[in-house]
Amino acid sequence: MPASFNLTRLPKLSGAGGICLQLSGQLALPDATEFWQKLKEEIEPGRGHEIDLSAVERLDGVCAAMLVSVEAEARCSGQYLHFHGASPGVERLLALYGIDGNPCKAPPTHLRILEQVGEATCSLVANTRNTLSFIGELSLSAIRAIRTPKSVHWADLGKLLERAGADSVPIVIAINLLVGFILGLQSAMQMEQFGVGIYVADLVGMSVVRELGPLMTAIIVTGRSGAAYAAQIGTMVVSEEVSALRSMGFDPVRFLVIPRTIALALMVPLLVVIGNFVGLLGGLLVGVLYLDVSISAYILRTQSVIGLSDWCSGLLKAAVFGIAIALIACERGFSTRGGAEGVGTSTTSAVVTMLFTLVCLDAFFTIIFSALGI
């Protein structure tokens, strides 16, 4: 079956040493293989080319992609290749499949130190701008959510509470039990030398309730829920689901961020309560099995050391940790760019930022509570 297109070389030159080609007929998928072979045969390396498309009656996406590919190869190798005479329909299709007018440049193999500093500075400025923009959008969305609570997507809150709370209980129990056990064992080995093994209850109780319980639980939530939030929202941004929400009149922050923030603000303190009791149980096991302290004596000593202010300070930390995890994860998710690789990069950035923020917040609370005598 004869091809439905023609590719001929015209006698006139497109320039000094250039070649002028003319395409005519219908360029469609059935003739794509033959068209590609003829096109590659006519394109000569090291010479400029002009391709006349005025006689093209029909052009589909496959052949348009082939033309754009040839143009991109020519530009990357420094050759001149230009299309002209295309009808409006053909021109629109080429623009749809086309690339920008910047010449292709090979990435530099090594950046100088000033270039690295410049890139890092530009990246920092861009991240700061995105963060401030997110904070402003979040503030406006929070005010609107308070005024009109029905505008928040409450339907997902139950699932978010279950995933962030109930699904995290096993790993929270395991980690905090081991932390309490290890902390008790390490302290018991030292205190036993001085005959004050009962003070293991003091050390484990204060450490777990005030510091390690909230911090370890928040780190677990960061790895589970925080990373998941960043990846989910990043994937939605890459797949343009967030843009679809905006086009339908939904506020992405109220739709995605506020329910997740509320879920972690509620669930992290509850997980901390569970983690604290389990951590104290780990210390109790050390006191009973290693130090031969009675269960009642260990519990009474723990109750005498830990007060209501200690529990409240730990739970306050937990609530702030939960809010920080949700906001950072969502902000990193909304800043995702560049497909699957961008989702991985934003998730990694979110986890690192969350861990650093948790440690800074914990240090801040410790200084404030020490200054207040709490």
Cβ–Cβ < 8 Å for 82, 53: no
Give the residues across from 23 on adjacent strands. Answer: 7
Q: Tell me which of 1-5, 154-158, 262-266 is least confident.
A: 1-5
Looking at residue 145, its pLDDT comes to: 82
* Mean pLDDT confidence for 358-368: 92
Give the residues across from 83 on adjacent strands. Answer: 51
Looking at residue 102, its pLDDT comes to: 45
Looking at residue 61, its pLDDT comes to: 82
Q: How far apart are CA 43 and CA 39, in angstroms?
A: 6
* Mean pLDDT confidence for 161-188: 91
Looking at residue 112, its pLDDT comes to: 78
Q: How confident is the model at residue 266 (pLDDT cuts 50, 70, 90)?
A: very high
Looking at residue 229, its pLDDT comes to: 92
H or E element in which residue 261 lies: helix 258-289
pLDDT in tens, 288-303: 888 888 888 889 998 8
User: If you ran DSSP here, which 8-state letter would residue 20 be given?
Assistant: E
User: Does the domain formed by 5-97 have CATH 3.40.50.1100?
Assistant: no
Question: Which residue, among 261, 185, 277, has the nearest Cα to 225 in the 3D structure?
Answer: 261
Looking at residue 2, its pLDDT comes to: 64
Q: How confident is the model at residue 348 (pLDDT cuts 50, 70, 90)?
A: very high
H or E element in which residue 181 lies: helix 169-191
Mean pLDDT in the chain?
A: 84
Residue 356 has pLDDT above 90, yes or no: yes
Neighbours of 80 (CB within 10 A): 13
pLDDT in tens, 176-218: 999 999 998 888 888 877 777 788 888 898 899 988 999 999 9
pLDDT in tens, 82-99: 888 888 888 888 777 765
Residue 339 has pLDDT above 90, yes or no: no
Looking at residue 177, its pLDDT comes to: 94
164: exposed, middle or buried (C-beta count within 10 Å: 0-12, 13-18, 19+)? buried
Q: Of 135-139, 166-170, 245-249, which one has max mean pLDDT?
A: 166-170
In degrees, rounded to 5, the angle at the alpha carbon of residue 232 between the alpha carbons of residues 225 and 230 is 60
Q: How confident is the model at residue 358 (pLDDT cuts 50, 70, 90)?
A: very high
Residue 27 has pLDDT above 60, yes or no: yes
Q: Of 15-19, 196-200, 369-373, which one has max mean pLDDT?
A: 369-373
Looking at residue 109, its pLDDT comes to: 56
Q: How confident is the model at residue 105 (pLDDT cuts 50, 70, 90)?
A: very low
Q: How far apart are CA 39 and CA 9, in angstroms?
A: 11
Q: How confident is the model at residue 1 (pLDDT cuts 50, 70, 90)?
A: low
pLDDT in tens, 140-149: 888 888 888 8
pLDDT in tens, 217-237: 999 999 989 999 999 999 998
Q: What is the pTM of this model?
A: 0.67
Q: 3-state secondary structure string, 322-364? A: HHHHHHHHHHHHHCCCCHHHHHHHHHHHHHHHHHHHHHHHHHH
Q: Where are the domains of the chain?
A: 5-97, 149-372
* Mean pLDDT confidence for 117-136: 83
Q: How confident is the model at residue 101 (pLDDT cuts 50, 70, 90)?
A: very low
Residue 111 has pLDDT above 70, yes or no: no
Share of the chain above pLDDT 70, in %: 94
